[in-house]
Amino acid sequence: MQMGKVYLVGAGPGDSELITVKGMEAIKKAEVILYDRLVNPRLLDYAKADCELIYCGKLPNRHFMKQEEINRTLLEKALAGFTVVRLKGGDPSVFGRVGEEAEVLAEQNVAYEIVPGITSGIAAPLYAGIPVTHRDYAGSFAMVTAHDKSKNGKPDIDWEGLARGVQTIAFYMGVSNLEHICENLIFHGKAPDTPVIVIRWGTWSRQESVVGTLSSIVEKVREGNIENPAITLVGDIVATREKIKWFEKKPLFGQQLLYVRGCAEEESFAHEYLNQGADVIEFPKWEVNKGSLDVKVRKKLPAYKRMLFMSTEAATNFFKLLKSYKIDIRQLQARLFCKQSTTIKLLEDKGFLSGLADELDSEGSLLIIGSNDHSEKNWKLDYKYGEHDYAGVYQASIDKRYESIIRRSIEDASISAILFSTSDSVHTFMKQAAHYGVALQSFAQTTDIICLNKQAWLTATNYGLNPRMQDENNKLYVEDFSQNSKNLIVSSKTY
């Protein structure tokens, strides 16, 4: 058996788009991924459908997998011939124990690569509006762990060197030892009025920042109930924050949205909310497996005058099936239509022009291409599109690998709004909520329920969820949950 290979990959600090290109390529080809708690679960969406996902994250009061078990698992999977990715938050070499893991692999002659990542000690301050160096404030920068192997858990470091020789200091996971840090920096020469900022959940929409000085920050952090994960930045550079902070000005900063998809065919607009600064948890995750093309449909392919793709997955799997059946795409004579705009882009990339389903006329035979268990009943399709043939080219089901991931994401978040785009999404939520640890009564008291169309609103109302719907201008508002105490536009897109 050929030995596998291990990629020790830095996932970045939280924002899923901060991963490197090389890191993303490793995820896409992985057969096994071991991932930490602070890795954004959205990165796992890029893994193969059959990739094994192993959680080995740590919480403040317990470990899911000890380091020795992680090392052993990396070895076992690689020796079994798998391509393995060890996905670590931030950069793997900055307090990420990558050296220990690489040593174990090297001792057993297992091939491996180390892929750097963006470290939170730089990224979190930048997302809070603070560069760690600046010609007017700081020409030196240090990264320091706030925990080490000392018996009492207090960092045993060169305090005098830090206090007198370094202008900007980033302490990792330092909340529990903050008082110890401040006392030692002051004792060894730092001025008590030296600016300090503690940044929790840096680069996420849930990011919180508390600003003070070495003499005041401990009390302010206690008052704000700030806990790890957090970066503590010490230095005059903190003064730049008010001028150049940018992330917190995004319209949906501070919003943590639960975006419900009722079936795989529903187009996801989660990326739009992410771009506006929100954290988005998609619920549930859907698994798509390739189906087949009926023999009768295959024989009629050249004769169809119109084809309607119900989803991007339908288009993707349709062309995969053509390839597997060795059907030349030049046989297709039909005009192509899509229910989703993203499918139009996919077809353009394949060299096909297409239009939206609203532009579909009634001239010529029609083939509708969707899932085997399409959410719209046959009579609805007949009513909408008239006589047609139907090809179910993929099978969709809830991806069980993500159940524990979604539960942990919901536990870590403070959900400000739940978004429903279809009736199916409401039904799915009501059936699955308890399974994912969502207590409906508590959510109803603290969470906005927003429906993107009337059908979803009616279904949610029938369940007694007290939903709100977009206004006449197709705008949605999240009320009372903004950290800026004002209404924020969630989306101006017509669904």
Contact at 8 Å (CB) between 62 and 55? no
Can you give the three-state secondary structure of the chain, one letter per residue?
CCCCEEEEEECECCCHHHCCHHHHHHHHHCCEEEECCCCCHHHHHHCCCCCEEEECCEECCEECCCHHHHHHHHHHHHHCCCEEEEEECECCCCCCCHHHHHHHHHHCCCEEEEECCCCHHHHHHHHCCCCCCECCCECCEEEEECCCCCCCCCCCCCHHHHHHHCCEEEEECCCCCHHHHHHHHHHCCCCCCCEEEEEECCCCCCCEEEEEECCCHHHHHHHCCCCCCEEEEECHHHHHHHHHCCHHHCCCCCCEEEEECCCCCCCCCHHHHHHCCCEEEEECCEEEEECCCCHHHHHHHHHCCEEEECCHHHHHHHHHHHHHCCCCHHHCCCEEEECCHHHHHHHHHCCCCEEEHHHCCCCCCEEEEEECCCCCCHHHHHHHHCCCEEEEEEEEEECHHHHHHHHHHHHHCCCCEEEECCHHHHHHHHHHCHHHCCCHHHHHHHCEEEECCHHHHHHHHHCCCCCEECCCCCCCEECCCCCCCCCEECCCCCC
Determine the Cα–Cα distance for residues 20 and 118; give it in Å rounded to an integer. Answer: 8
CA angle 190/191/197 to nearest 5° reads 85
Q: Which of 58, 220, 290, 320 is catalytic?
A: 58
Q: Which of 36, 91, 399, 424 is catalytic?
A: 36
Q: Which of 22, 65, 154, 173 is catalytic?
A: 173
Active site residue 36: yes
**Residues designated as active site:** 36, 58, 173
